[in-house]
Structure 1
Amino acid sequence: MIKVTFIEHDGTETTAEGDHGDSVMSLAVAQGVDGIVAECGGGMMCATCHCYVDDAWFGKTGPRSEGEEDMLESAVTEVKPTSRLSCQITLSDDLDGLVVRLPEVQV
């Protein structure tokens, strides 16, 4: 199992365990993590699974695709260098211990 810690805007932390190949978004939804709405179910169509990857982990999550860049730029009010759509981050052994922070509101 791969552990991911979600930190909500108010500092509340939830650590969940997922399987290799799951998305960070699907793990958050399955665990009922507040702050990940996931309206489109992972289709990269809504940006309601936006998160900020902890600086120490950002390089391990892989680069944003062009489509992800476009969605972030068009739908997210505060895009940061570590912004990602959690539906586009796939769990792997390299991400065991991943930390993501959630914005105060989703689009």
Structure 2
Amino acid sequence: LCGDRQCDPATAQRLRTDLGLDKPVWQQYLTYMGNVFTGDIGTAFNGQKVTELRGSAFPVTIRLTIVAIVLEIVIGITLGVVTGLRRGRPVDTGVRILTLVVISVPTFVTGLLVQLL
């Protein structure tokens, strides 16, 4: 919280008190769970409420989800029809191998590859 430098003792004590770290662990846990169940997740390092940050990111997340689902439907149905019409041929085998590779590769690798393209 103080960056690369070590906090001076007064600042460290103030942070401990503000964050509730001066209380016993069981009391910290109960306070945390009470806040979570009431919708108060806390404050980010920049001082903004986490619920506000999540709220501002929500519309973008919904847009990305809708685009991804539409792409999945279009590509999936197209490839399904093509492989259904050409069963047992090289196109069918190629689509099966491509599908196996896409399913097998972890999402973080796929995301990194998409960013690099």
TM-score, normalised to structure 2's length?
0.18
Q: Could you state the TM-score of these two structures normalised by the residue count of structure 1?
A: 0.19
Between the two structures, name the one with larger relative contact order (CA 8 Å, sep ≥ 6).
1
Larger Rg computed on CA atoms: 2
